[in-house]
Structure 1
Amino acid sequence: MDYNPIYIMYATIIVIIIVLIDHLFFRKEAIITRKLKNKKGLKVSEVQNGNYITFKGKVVAGTSLLKAKLSNRSCVCYSVQLQEYSTENSYWSTASEQNIYQQFFLDVDGAYIMIVPNLMLYDANESYFSMENQKSPEKLDGLPFSFKYTLKEYEEDGYDWKANKKKYLRFREGIIEVGEIVVVKGIAQWKTINEEIEGYSGSKILTLTGTKKHKLIITGITKVVNKTN
C-alpha cells in the first residue's frame, strides 16, 4: 500500500509535537520546575512577609540530624517507600510511603534561611527526592503501620518478602543531606532570633514554611535544581 508523503510528514510532525509536549509539560521534573518557578527573582534581604518564593542554596544542619530508616544515613529529611510490581501491567506502584521532616537552614549566597516544615499538617509539605533502591530491612522498627500491614498480607500469601526472590517488592529511600544543593519554595516570614545560630550573626532571619494552599516544596532532584535560577 502506498502512503501519501504529505500524510507521512504530518503524522511525523504530530508525533514530534506529542513527544515534546510530554517532555516539557508532563514529565515529573517539568511539573516540579513549574511549581518552583518564581514570578520575579528577589534577594533574601528584599523578601517581604507573605511572599511565596523560591530559593536555591546549600543545606546547613539545624540542632540535630535525622537518621534515614533504611540506610541509617544522616539527613535533614527523608522519604521511604514500599513499592509493588504488577506483572500484569509491568509497572511499579507505591503501596506505602512515609516522609519525615525537620527544621534546617539554607545557605543562599551567604545569607541564611530557616526552613520550617509544618509537622502538625503534613499536607502543607511537598517533597521530591532522588529515590534509590534499598535492601529489605531485617526489622520493621520505626517504619509506618502501612508498611507492616502490606508485608503481613504478603506473608499470609506465603511470600517471603525478606528474601524477595521474585522481586515483587522493593524498598526505596531518598534523603536531603547536609551540604546538598536543594531548591525550596515557601511562604516567607521574618523572625527575630532568640538564640545564637552557628555561622549566622543577624538579629532576624527569613523563614519559609507552608500551608495546605501554599505548600512548602523541597527538592534535591538534580535536573530540577540545575534548571532553577
Structure 2
Amino acid sequence: MFLITDVSPFLIPLLFFVIVGLIIFITYYFSTKQKIIRTLSKLPIKQIGSLKNNELTRFTGKALHVKEPLIAPFSKRKCVFYVIKIKQRKSNGKQQRWRTIVHEEKVQDFFLEKNSDFAMVRLHQNPKNYTSYLVADKKVKSGTFNAPTPEFTALLENYNIKSESFFGFHKTLRYTEAIIEIGEEITVAGIAKWKSLKAPIEGYSYSKIAELESSDKQKLIITDLPNIKTKKRF
C-alpha cells in the first residue's frame, strides 16, 4: 500500500506525457508528407527512356507547361499547380483558433523534362487522381498592429474578404502559397504508359512519349521535396 501511494503522484503525469507523445508521433508518422516520403523511398529512380509499360515508378525532372500556365494568386508566378490557404484567427473569449476561410487548389497537365527526355503528367480534380505535398514558399500575414500590404489587400478583395473588422481593427489573417513553378525540379510517381504523340514537342524527336498515370489502386504522387533517397536497391 505504501508503494502504490508513493508512486501514484508520478503515474498520472507520466501517462499524460506518454499519451501526448504518442499522439504527436502518430500525427507525424501518418502526415501526408511522411507517407509520400515513405512511398517514394521504396520506388526505383529511373530515366524516362527505361520506363516500362504498367510499371509503378518515380521520376524527377523539371516541370514544363503544356498550355498557358496558371498564375499564382499572390506571387503572380507562372506555374502548373498551386495551393493557397487563407486563415483567420478567431477567439471566443476563452481560446483562440485558426479557421480556414479560403482553400483553393488548381492544377493542369504538365511535362516533366530531364536531359531532353519528356514525360507527360495528367491530373484530374474530379475525381482527384493524385496526392501531393508542396512546400509553402510564400507567406504573408496581417494583425491588429500589422496592416496588410497593398498586395495582400488586393488579394483579399479578390476573395471578397475584408481586412478590417466592424470596429476598424485589422483582422489577424495569414496566407500561404505553395506552387510548382515552371522549370522547378519536382518528383512524380505513377504508372508508366507509352503513348503515341498526337503533335510534335519542340526539342523532342521521338514519336512516342511516356505518361505517368493513376490507377484504381494507385494515385499519382507529386512533391517538390528535395533529396528523397531510395532505401532499396533495384
> Does TM, normalized by the shorter one, top 0.5?
yes
Q: Tell me the distance in 2 between the aligned counterparts of 1:61 and 1:40.
A: 25
- From 172, 178, 188, the counterpart of 1:174: 178
Hey, what does 2:143 align to over in structure 1?
none
Hey, what does 1:77 align to over in structure 2?
81
Distance 1:166 1:66, change over 3 A: closer
Hey, what does 1:138 align to over in structure 2?
154
- 1:179-194 maps to which residues of 2 (within 5 A)? 179-194=183-198
Q: Tell me the distance in 2 between the aligned counterparts of 1:67 and 1:50.
A: 33
Q: Structure 1 stretches of 5 or more lacking a match?
A: none
Does structure 1 residue 226 correspond to structure 2 residue 227? Answer: yes
Hey, what does 1:204 align to over in structure 2?
208
Aligned-pair RMSD on alpha carbons?
3.8
Distance 1:109 1:166, change over 3 A: same
- From 18, 30, 34, the counterpart of 1:30: 34
Q: Tell me the distance in 1 between the aligned counterparts of 2:49 and 2:23.
A: 41
Q: Structure 2 stretches of 5 or more lacking a match?
A: 1-5, 141-150
Q: Tell me the distance in 2 between the aligned counterparts of 1:196 and 1:118.
A: 23
1:195 counterpart SS class: coil
Hey, what does 2:107 align to over in structure 1?
101
Hey, what does 1:125 align to over in structure 2?
130
Q: After superposition, give the CA deviation of every residue in 1:162-209 in whole Å (9 maximum; x if it has no partner).
A: xx7241x22221111122111112222211012111121111111113
Q: Tell me the distance in 2 between the aligned counterparts of 1:203 and 1:46.
A: 16
* TM-score, normalised by the number of residues in structure 1: 0.70
Q: Tell me the distance in 2 between the aligned counterparts of 1:166 and 1:78.
A: 25
Distance 1:137 1:199, change over 3 A: farther
Amino acid at match of 1:158: F
Amino acid at match of 2:79: C
* TM-score, normalised by the number of residues in structure 2: 0.69
What is the aligned-residue identity percentage?
29
Distance 1:91 1:34, change over 3 A: farther
Q: Tell me the distance in 2 between the aligned counterparts of 1:19 and 1:140.
A: 35
Q: Tell me the distance in 2 between the aligned counterparts of 1:197 and 1:67.
A: 23
Q: After superposition, give the CA deviation of every residue in 1:50-104 in whole Å (9 maximum; x if it has no partner).
A: 3232211222232332111222111121112122324566554533311111121
Hey, what does 2:166 align to over in structure 1?
158
Q: Tell me the distance in 1 between the aligned counterparts of 2:73 and 2:86.
A: 12
Hey, what does 2:145 align to over in structure 1?
none
Is residue 77–residue 176 contact of structure 1 (8 Å, CA) maintained in 2? Answer: yes
Is residue 82–residue 95 contact of structure 1 (8 Å, CA) maintained in 2? Answer: yes
> Aligned residue pairs: how many?
208
Is residue 37–residue 54 contact of structure 1 (8 Å, CA) maintained in 2? Answer: no
Q: Tell me the distance in 2 between the aligned counterparts of 1:205 and 1:159.
A: 59
Q: Tell me the distance in 2 between the aligned counterparts of 1:139 and 1:21.
A: 36
1:200 counterpart SS class: coil
Amino acid at match of 2:201: I
Does structure 1 residue 49 correspond to structure 2 residue 53? Answer: yes
Which structure has the larger Rg?
Answer: 2
